[in-house]
Amino acid sequence: MDILSYSAVELAAAIKEGKVTATEAMEAVLARIDEKEKDINAYVTIDREAVLKAAKAAQEKINAGELTGPLAGVPVAIKDNMCTEGMLTTCSSKILGNFIPTFSAEAVINLEKAGAVIIGKTNMDEFAMGSTTETSAYGVTRNPWNTEHVPGGSSGGSAAAVAAGECFFALGSDTGGSIRQPASFCGVVGLKPTYGTVSRYGLVAYGSSLDQIGPLTKDVTDCAVVMEVIATQDAKDSTSVKREDTDFTSALVADVKGMKIGIPRDYFGEGLDAEVKDAVLAAAKALEEKGAVVEEFDLSLVEYAIPTYYTIAAAEASSNLERFDGIKYGYRTENFEGLHNMYKKTRSEGFGAEVKRRIMLGSFVLSSGYYDAYYLKALKVKAMIKKAFDEAFAKYDLILGPVAPTTAPKLGESLSDPLKMYLGDIYTISVNLAGLPGISVPCGKDSKGLPIGLQFIADSFQEKKLIQAAYTYEKIRGDFKIEN
Amino acid sequence: MAKQYETVIGLEVHVELATKTKIFCGCSTAFGGAPNTHTCPVCTGMPGSLPVLNKQVVNYAVAVGLATNCDITQYCKFDRKNYFYPDNPQNYQISQLYLPICRNGHVDIETSEGKKSVGIHEIHMEEDAGKLIHDEWEDCSLVDYNRSGVPLIEIVSEPDMRSAEEVIAYLEKLRMIVQYLGASDCKLNEGSMRADVNLSVREVGATEFGTRTEMKNLNSFRAITHAIEGERERQIDLLESGQQVIQETRRWDDAKEYSYAMRSKEDAQDYRYFPDPDLVPVYISDEWLAQIKASQPEFREEKMARYKAEYDIPEYDIGIITDSKHMADLFEETVAICNQPKKVSNWLMGETLRLLKEKNMDPEDIIFSPENLAKLIGLADSKAINSSVAKEVFEVMFDENIDPEKYVEENGLKTVNDEGALRKTIEEIIAANPQSVEDYHNGKEKAIGFLVGQTMKAMKGKADPGMVNQILKELL
Amino acid sequence: MANIITDETIDYVGILAKLELSDEEKEQAKKDMGSMLDYIDKLGELDTTGIEPMSHVFPVQNVFREDVVTNGDESEKTLKNAPGEKDNMFMVPKTFD
């Protein structure tokens, strides 16, 4: 069997059984990267020599019985906004073009403890601001299903790497849909956990109250296994939550009998592509046939989620990105006159257009005289949106809808009109505002052959329901792979 | 007739708390480390780092709030104050704007004008900034983040003060309270207590406040007094010449005795405060509050009343001793060992104050231990050393906290109680000074003093002066 | 477009955010910010009277550290990425005259 056709869990089992070594797995991945990267550009940084050494070391530990974790020897790709000690971490920005962290993100450390071997860092929209991975300072990433199209974003590099077999699984981060939407565009599984489930320590912050790290995997089983590894309470992250129910693999049960699934009418109205709509509703029908109770309902407030999100995320980002000033790390402009000119030139040259756009918007909505009208108003609407979900989850175990209004757009189509790009986040964004978990699972292809994703949303801390429903659906659907 | 002006002053006092670690990370707050040796990703604003609140900061802030009669905000939050400056590694300072931990307090002060209550608008917790050093050689500045993240409380008064004298009285009162709580050593010269002065003037009788300025960089009571006087004059001159006071921040230069505007077109003074999403709210339960209340120390007023009742020492001495928590602790601990309040008080009021003044030190700087002071008192009591030797030993103890018993032993300072030897010395002195002996016999009482002095000199100070006197009179 | 962003506003935001835009970028920024604010103004349609602003989605509170020193001398790491360094400190353009 071709090593690359293994899922992460299958590979770990094969390594454990001695059928494959970690080094062979890494070599296979590197060979695939050699073959694909010129078309895809999923990675920003790969240190081949170090990576092969790490794989060899992992295999030795496995042989010695020292490394027995569930992901022992499995190559993983990490989104480039997670700190990796001694490995370039750029956030796909020029301003961090030379930044080498002195510590690793907690989620990365947890993966390493479980035996995973880091291949490299994946491309993304600069500082996770974007939905297409076109705002990267290091070139666009292309969709492995059709390289004329974007992979989605901001975790586009991670999603593309998984889809193209350039890794066995990847970590992404999701502030407004940045795991689920690229997963959907690239035909892989992506889960955004409940806020506070995965430590944010070492994740370079975009919108701190919305950011969560999560897995991008080939299937739901891998997703559950990776979640068990990365979901830990961390004393270094004050917003990290203590959970007792992180045995996510126990939810890998193909059964939705009696599960109540709500379909928000507001998610199926104007703007939703007909093919996407049909595919998602067909999936709902299939679940219903397996015994789920599916009904339509009105979620309300859906059209307010995007303005709320962009106010809050931009405000937090404007503050979070103040630390990039040319003093402590990263890019510093060559020529300047005095301190403030150094700040301005460094930041203007170091940040791309989309990042600047959001920093300016965020600075404005927090500025004197506008705070109440914009920022505080958005925090109040956020409370209302959370309440609307609370009411929905009083009635339903899960909400089912599309991930994005369309399949992956063509390269260059989205950037010309930022507002239009923002509208593409409509089904994913409110999940972040309410701190909820959501999963994206492939549910078909459109007439152009591009993947379509469906999204399950659960109440806070109910990832197991997501996993169970997604796993059941996956069994109904059958294999979903690119024909290479 | 010239217009009469009133000065209106409010203070923003920053106090560095005496925690072992910084407010949001496990770095040491110790003074004087080599540059950047007390730093980590959190206090240097590394990408991906996150703050976690030091609980002791909350305990101290609440304790100070209770001691200054504040309402405690049981549900409080941290906000980010955004501004770019190299000493501020994140380019935002974590502080409190919307829900500060303490509000609506007051402290009572006493000046030559009488008693007065100064309102406290709020107390909030925040992080300190790093230190900037100017490098003449390279014509640049250098940043050391050792102080970055050291916990501060900012105590914001109401504009209730009207003179430099009131300001100093208020600051001394605050310092005393904070020191009694052990929440800070409050040293102005080391920056562990810093005051920014908000000052405006208005015509006497006016009901509206004038436009105020804020003065920074005041690191001694002297500088504060001068800055207040200088700024008052500057503002009155402006108004008298038909100009207006501009609301601005000014930097006091104590050497030039003048303040300079710190304005720059790059400083918008728009801090864009918003709740810090990286920190969760602090909820101070009734139980927690009660716990802090119960562990409040005895403050000065209570202490004074108790000393009056317990010890037979003058009220003036009580005032001086309790003026400093350190001095009061030293007093009580020494008395607990030797049970001689009067004598302990005498050493503190006499030699201790003299040496403090001579060496330009604060009572907080005293290093000798209560055990050693008690030993010294014991040596003098038992006449093992005479009073001049005792003073000599005290000076060494004051500087080096030596053990007086060991020191006296090692340096052979014990009083000579061998009467035979003393008698022999006195006989020699009498023989060598016939003129003084004659003067004494002629009724010049003073002459005996000279003979005592000569004897003490011959005995290298180690004789008991009483015994010398007695033997001299007998032999004469 | 309801929100007209003036040159003064863009310059002011530039001071706050420490960004220096070319004239061309400024024109684009004025347009973009105006249309975003128009969009955000949609929130005005909602009556939020009596609703508490929600900064944290979960009622987590009192997350503390104990006051114990856990970090040693990390100055080498602290300065590892510094664009300018001298005497173990970060070198910056001079901050006062």
Structure tokens at B363: 């009572």
Q: How confident is the model at residue B260 (pLDDT cuts 50, 70, 90)?
A: confident
Q: What is the pLDDT of residue B474?
A: 80
- Cβ contact (<8 Å) for B272 and A363? yes
Q: Where in chain C are the domains?
A: 7-45
The total of other beta-carbon atoms located within 10 Å of residue B390's CB is: 21
- Cβ contact (<8 Å) for C92 and B140? yes
- Cβ contact (<8 Å) for B46 and A203? no
Q: What is the pLDDT of residue A483?
A: 67
Q: What is the pLDDT of residue B138?
A: 85
- Distance of CA A410 to CAs A179, A445, B57, B138, B207, Å? 19, 16, 54, 52, 68
Residues A132-147 pLDDT 10s: 999 999 999 999 999 9
Catalytic residue among A36, A79, A464, A465: A79
**Is pLDDT at B263 greater than 90 in this prediction?**
no
**Is pLDDT at B410 greater than 70 in this prediction?**
yes
Q: What is the pLDDT of residue C96?
A: 67
- Distance of CA A366 to CAs A169, A343, B51, B426, Å? 38, 20, 22, 90
What is A1-484's CATH number? 3.90.1300.10
Minimum-distance CB partner of A204 among B47, B264, B266:
B47
Residues of C in contact with B56 (CB under 8 A): 66-67
Interface check for B20 against chain C (CB to CB < 8 A): the answer is yes
- Cβ contact (<8 Å) for C46 and A303? no
Task: Provide the shortest C-alpha distance from residue B63 to chain C (in Å).
Answer: 16
Which of A278-282, A361-365, B34-38, B218-222 shows the lowest per-residue confidence on average (mean pLDDT)?
B218-222
Q: What is the pLDDT of residue B289?
A: 97
d(CA A53, CA A58): 9
Task: Compute chain A's Rg from CA coordinates.
Answer: 21
CA-nearest residue to C45 within chain A is A304
Q: What is the pLDDT of residue B422?
A: 79
- Distance of CA B315 to CAs A155, B300, B305, B306, B308, Å? 75, 13, 10, 11, 7
What is C7-45's CATH number? 1.10.20
- β-partners of residue A172 are A214
**Is pLDDT at C24 greater than 70 in this prediction?**
yes
- β-partners of residue B195 are B13
d(CA B163, CA B225): 9
Q: What is the pLDDT of residue B461?
A: 76
Residues of A in contact with C39 (CB under 8 A): 306-307, 310, 419
- Cβ contact (<8 Å) for C96 and B37? no
- The edge-to-edge listing of strands for the beta sheet with B79-82 is B92-95, B79-82, B274-275
Mean pLDDT of all residues belonging to chain B: 92
Counting Cβ atoms within 10 Å, is residue B220 exposed (0-12), middle (13-18) or buried (19+)?
exposed
* CA triple A461-A463-A468, angle to 5 deg: 145
The total of other beta-carbon atoms located within 10 Å of residue C56's CB is: 18
d(CA A475, CA A480): 11
- Tokens 């991670």 appear where? A158
Identify whether the C-beta of residue B382 lies closer than 8 Å to the C-beta of residue B430. no
Interface check for A96 against chain B (CB to CB < 8 A): the answer is yes
Task: Return the sign of the alpha-carbon dihedral for residues A192, A198, A202, A204.
Answer: positive
- β-partners of residue B202 are B6
**Is pLDDT at B266 greater than 80 in this prediction?**
no
Minimum-distance CB partner of B34 among C67, C68, C88:
C88
The total of other beta-carbon atoms located within 10 Å of residue B243's CB is: 10
Tell which residue, A83, A77, A180, A94, has the closest CA to residue A135.
A94
The total of other beta-carbon atoms located within 10 Å of residue A479's CB is: 6
* CA triple A59-A62-A67, angle to 5 deg: 120
d(CA A400, CA A389): 13
Tell which residue, A429, A477, A422, A408, has the closest CA to residue A160.
A408
Residues of B in contact with C68 (CB under 8 A): 20-21, 26
Identify whether the C-beta of residue B421 lies closer than 8 Å to the C-beta of residue B459. no
Mutate to test the interface with B, among C19, C76, C95, C97 (most CBs of B within 10 A): C95
Question: What are the backbone dihedrals phi and psi of residue A112, each rounded to the nearest 5 degrees, phi first?
Answer: -65, -40
Structure tokens at B57: 């900061």
Residues of B in contact with A83 (CB under 8 A): 47-48
Q: Once rounded to an integer, what is the mean pLDDT over residues B187-216?
A: 92
Identify whether the C-beta of residue A171 lies closer than 8 Å to the C-beta of residue A213. yes
- Cβ contact (<8 Å) for A364 and C90? no
DSSP B348: I
- Cβ contact (<8 Å) for C32 and A306? no
d(CA A40, CA A33): 9
Pairing of strands B131-135, B140-144: antiparallel
- Cβ contact (<8 Å) for A327 and C90? yes
d(CA B391, CA B396): 9
> What are chain B's domains?
5-288 (no CATH), 298-410 (no CATH), 419-475 (1.10.10.410)
Known catalytic membership, residue A154: yes
ipTM of this predicted complex?
0.97
CA-nearest residue to B53 within chain C is C64
Residues of C in contact with A331 (CB under 8 A): 83
d(CA A107, CA A169): 14
Q: Once rounded to an integer, what is the mean pLDDT over residues B61-75?
A: 98
- Tokens 């770095």 appear where? B27
d(CA A13, CA A120): 23
d(CA B190, CA A59): 56
Known catalytic membership, residue A79: yes
Which stretches of chain A score pLDDT less than 70? 1, 483-484
Structure tokens at C79: 């300065």
CB contact set of B267 (below 8 Å; sequence gap of 6+) = B83
CA dihedral A217, A434, A468, A280 (to 10 degrees): -80
Interface check for A342 against chain B (CB to CB < 8 A): the answer is no
d(CA B281, CA B290): 20
Q: How confident is the model at residue B470 (pLDDT cuts 50, 70, 90)?
A: confident
Identify whether the C-beta of residue A185 lies closer than 8 Å to the C-beta of residue A150. yes
Please name the chains neighbouring A, where neighbouring means 3+ C-beta pairs under 8 angstroms: B, C
Percent of the residues in chain B that have a pLDDT greater than 70, as a whole number? 99
Task: Provide the shortest C-alpha distance from residue A370 to chain B (in Å).
Answer: 10
Tell which residue, A338, A474, A406, has the closest CA to residue A7.
A474
* CA triple A452-A458-A462, angle to 5 deg: 130
Task: Compute chain B's Rg from CA coordinates.
Answer: 29
Q: What is the pLDDT of residue B452?
A: 82
Q: What is the pLDDT of residue B417?
A: 67
Residues B79-96 pLDDT 10s: 999 999 999 999 999 999
Which of A96-105, A106-115, B323-332, C62-71 shows the lowest per-residue confidence on average (mean pLDDT)?
B323-332
Q: How confident is the model at residue B250 (pLDDT cuts 50, 70, 90)?
A: very high
Tell which residue, B105, B129, B158, B128, has the closest CA to residue B57.
B128
Task: Provide the shortest C-alpha distance from residue B55 to chain C (in Å).
Answer: 5
**Is pLDDT at B1 greater than 70 in this prediction?**
no
SS3 assignment, position A380: helix
Count Cα neighbours of A220 within 13 Å in the Cβ-side half-sphere: 32
Identify whether the C-beta of residue B344 lies closer than 8 Å to the C-beta of residue B381. no
Residues A64-98 pLDDT 10s: 999 998 999 999 999 999 999 999 999 999 999 99
CA-nearest residue to B275 within chain A is A316
Known catalytic membership, residue A238: no
Q: Once rounded to an integer, what is the mean pLDDT over residues B389-411?
A: 93
CB pairs under 8 A between A and B: 98
Question: What are the backbone dihedrals phi and psi of residue B406, each rounded to the nearest 5 degrees, phi first?
Answer: -65, -45
| Extended strands (E) in B31-147 | 53-54, 71-72, 75-76, 79-82, 92-95, 102-111, 114-127, 131-135, 140-144
Q: What is the pLDDT of residue C95?
A: 82
**Can the peptide bond before residue B285 be classed as cis, meaning omega within 30 degrees of 0?**
no
- Cβ contact (<8 Å) for A330 and C81? yes
For the packed helices A305-320 and A353-366, what is the interaxial angle rounded to 10 degrees? 100
CA dihedral C78, C79, C81, C83 (to 10 degrees): 140
Interface check for B132 against chain A (CB to CB < 8 A): the answer is no
Minimum-distance CB partner of B139 among C62, C90, C94:
C94
Tell which residue, B64, B23, B39, B44, has the closest CA to residue B152.
B23
* CA triple A442-A443-A449, angle to 5 deg: 85
d(CA A275, CA A284): 14
Catalytic residue among A93, A154, A155, A199: A154
Minimum-distance CB partner of A348 among C9, C21, C33:
C21
CB contact set of A411 (below 8 Å; sequence gap of 6+) = A132, A134, A140, A142, A148, A149, A150
Q: Once rounded to an integer, what is the mean pLDDT over residues B154-158?
A: 98
- Tokens 């006071």 appear where? B245
Interface check for B78 against chain A (CB to CB < 8 A): the answer is no
DSSP B118: E
Tell which residue, A328, C82, C91, C88, has the closest CA to residue B88.
A328
Identify whether the C-beta of residue A211 lies closer than 8 Å to the C-beta of residue A205. yes
